[in-house]
């Protein structure tokens, strides 16, 4: 079950800090910290909430389903900081699950699910895990071969380390997202209140309820902000298209709108790495009002990665009904298993709550949604995504966007300069010991941006 611990908090008392912020606005001299006003009536109820956003809380969360993070905690609000356990480095997360815990998770948060459906759900989860376990050894061999082909300068040690990680990363498409994980999560007071009031899945209601109780135990004087009577009562989940599905071997992207190319201010590489200064320097303010709008279709797994860049705005995601099969499991001949798994999952549609159907989607279930980002936001995102240390699918989305923009303008478009990794411009890897092993001497757009297998 979901367990929450308070790791850290702002050391000043919250109401005293909010009062100090408010009085700072109204006095000619800085107020004394500790002098308090009626925060509930003078600040919270009138909606003067910036004064309460100087207090932060960091929580250690364990036992929450991966799907309840992707389709819940990380879905809407950008007002948080989060570091989630990586499946790339925790392979046993998928290979040896605790089915009893998964069953307990379902019966706790969706008690209306009947025993028959519950047994079928566990069978569906088990079938995905079996496909993973039965093929991980061969997938690792294939991955190593692909790595050697694509990255000729990768050391044997690097290949030995990377092959198992990337193999499980691609094979996890068969794993349902209801597997438990953990994360550190930092949020300010009013953002936590908003999350508490708006939570739309049973697990989110439970999680934010635990966070609220921890805060109120620490600071009972904040209880007025967490009104259980005002909490959202209904639930929400992704829509699912019930139609003939496709086993897809590539994500897709459609560039719908592009801002003016001539207004683009080309960032300097030293202003983007290792610290991104684009949203902080006045010279780049023109890039904040010109945007690129796209519609993408990617796997549920990669949607979780796509949420990391919170300066990008995203629309409502919808399950397309398709399944993403990357190069390694495709080479393993797992298309029939992919077909079987997506059919099993879709068979639960209309038989179980939509929020549960969403959370237990296989990693490979594809979702589509609209993304809008300023030039600065896109630059920040793509300098990470087009590096070959990034996962293959998220990198491919960036590559396809680059090709689309190149076709609309030309190969010399200034916009293409933000759709490339640092090594393309400099010929040097900025990742240090994590150098991917690709041939950095290849310097043409046609050869530097191939479709990757791994």
**What region does 350 belong to: left with phi over 0, alpha with psi -120 to 50, or beta?**
left
**Where residue 397 falls among pLDDT bands split at 50, 70, 90?**
very high
Inside any domain, residue 124: no
Q: Over the stretch 321-334, which tens digit does the pLDDT of each residue have?
A: 999 999 999 999 99
pLDDT at position 202 is 98
Mean pLDDT confidence for 168-183: 96
CA distance 145 to 159: 9
Count the domains in the chain: 1
- For 111, counting Cβ atoms within 10 Å of its Cβ (0-12 exposed, 13-18 middle, 19+ buried), the class is exposed
Inside any domain, residue 380: no
**Count of other CB atoms within 10 angstroms of residue 309:** 18
Q: What is the mean pLDDT of the chain?
A: 95
Inside any domain, residue 75: yes
Range of the domain at 32: 3-86+180-230
Q: Give yes or no for residue 41 having a pLDDT over 90.
A: yes
Q: Give yes or no for residue 262 having a pLDDT over 90.
A: no
Q: Over the stretch 195-251, which tens digit does the pLDDT of each residue have?
A: 999 999 999 999 999 999 999 999 999 999 999 999 999 999 999 998 888 999 999
**The tokens of 353 are what?**
């709550």
Q: What is the pTM of this model?
A: 0.94
207 or 440: whose pLDDT is higher?
207
pLDDT at position 290 is 95
CATH number of 205's domain: 3.30.1360.170
Q: Over the stretch 142-165, which tens digit does the pLDDT of each residue have?
A: 999 999 999 999 999 999 999 999
Instruction: Using a pLDDT cut of 90, give the percent of the chain over it.
Output: 85
Pairing, β 3-9 against β 56-65 = antiparallel
Inside any domain, residue 16: yes
Which of 45-59, 400-414, 434-448 reaches the highest mean pLDDT? 45-59
Q: Over the stretch 409-420, which tens digit does the pLDDT of each residue have?
A: 877 788 888 898
Inside any domain, residue 8: yes
pLDDT at position 283 is 97
**The tokens of 108 are what?**
């706790």
For every residue of 438-450, DSSP letters joined together read --TT--SHHHHSP
> 36 with 51: CB under 8 angstroms?
no
Inside any domain, residue 52: yes
pLDDT at position 242 is 83
pLDDT at position 89 is 64
Inside any domain, residue 207: yes
**The tokens of 420 are what?**
């490339």
Q: Over the stretch 66-122, which tens digit does the pLDDT of each residue have?
A: 999 999 999 999 999 999 998 766 666 788 889 999 999 999 999 999 999 999 999
CA distance 10 to 335: 51
Q: Over the stretch 276-293, which tens digit does the pLDDT of each residue have?
A: 999 999 999 999 999 999
pLDDT at position 90 is 66
Q: Give yes or no for residue 184 having a pLDDT over 90.
A: yes
Mean pLDDT confidence for 418-436: 89
C-alpha 444, offset from chain centre: 32
For every residue of 208-275, DSSP letters joined together read HHHHHHHHHHH-GGGGGG--GGGS--S----EE--S---EESS-EEEEEEE--GGG--PPPGGGTSSS
Q: Residue 431: in which H helix or E strand, if any?
A: none
CA distance 159 to 156: 5
Inside any domain, residue 9: yes
Mean pLDDT confidence for 425-445: 87
Nearest 10 degrees: Cα torsion 143, 148, 149, 152: 150
> 376 with 288: CB under 8 angstroms?
yes
């Amino acid at each position: 079950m979901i367990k929450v611990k308070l790791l850290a908090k702002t050391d000043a008392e919250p109401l005293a800090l909010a009062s100090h912020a408010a009085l700072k606005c109204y006095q000619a001299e800085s107020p004394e910290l500790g002098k308090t006003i009626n925060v509930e009536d003078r600040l919270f109820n009138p909606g003067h909430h910036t004064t309460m956003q100087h207090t932060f809380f960091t929580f250690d969360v364990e036992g929450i389903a991966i799907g309840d993070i992707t389709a819940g905690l990380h879905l809407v609000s950008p007002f948080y900081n989060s570091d989630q356990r990586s499946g790339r480095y925790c392979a046993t997360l998928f290979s040896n699950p605790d089915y009893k815990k998964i069953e307990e998770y379902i019966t706790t948060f969706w008690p209306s699910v009947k025993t028959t459906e519950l047994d079928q759900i566990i069978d569906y989860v088990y079938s995905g895990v079996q496909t993973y376990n039965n093929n991980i050894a061969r997938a690792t061999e294939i991955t190593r071969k692909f790595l050697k082909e694509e990255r000729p300068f990768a050391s044997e040690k690097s290949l030995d380390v990377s092959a198992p990680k990337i193999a499980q990363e691609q094979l996890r498409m068969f794993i349902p997202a209801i597997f438990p994980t953990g994360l550190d999560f930092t949020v300010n007071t009013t953002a936590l209140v908003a999350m508490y009031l708006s939570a739309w899945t049973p697990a989110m209601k439970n999680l934010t309820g635990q966070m609220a109780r921890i805060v109120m135990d620490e600071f009972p004087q904040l209880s007025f902000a967490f009104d259980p009577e005002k909490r959202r009562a209904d639930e929400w989940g992704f829509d699912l298209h019930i139609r003939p599905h496709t086993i897809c071997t590539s994500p897709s992207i459609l560039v719908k709108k592009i801002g003016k190319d001539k207004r683009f201010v080309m960032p300097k590489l030293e202003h983007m790495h290792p610290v991104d200064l684009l949203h902080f320097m006045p010279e780049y303010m023109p890039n904040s009002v010109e945007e690129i709008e796209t519609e993408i279709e990617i796997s549920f797994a990669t949607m979780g990665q796509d949420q990391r860049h919170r300066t990008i705005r995203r629309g409502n995601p919808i399950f397309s009904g398709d399944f993403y099969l990357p190069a390694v499991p495709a080479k393993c001949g797992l298309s029939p298993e992919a077909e079987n798994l997506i059919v099993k999952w879709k068979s639960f549609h209309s038989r179980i709550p939509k929020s549960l159907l969403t959370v237990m989607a296989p990693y490979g279930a594809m979702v589509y949604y609209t993304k809008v980002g300023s030039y600065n936001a896109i630059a920040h995102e793509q300098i990470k995504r087009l590096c070959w240390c990034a996962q293959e699918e998220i990198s491919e989305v960036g590559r396809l966007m680059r090709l689309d923009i190149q076709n609309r303008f030309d190969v010399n478009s200034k916009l293409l300069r933000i759709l490339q990794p640092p090594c393309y411009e400099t010929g040097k890897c900025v990742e240090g010991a994590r150098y991917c092993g690709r041939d950095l001497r290849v310097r043409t757009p046609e050869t530097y941006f191939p479709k990757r297998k791994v």
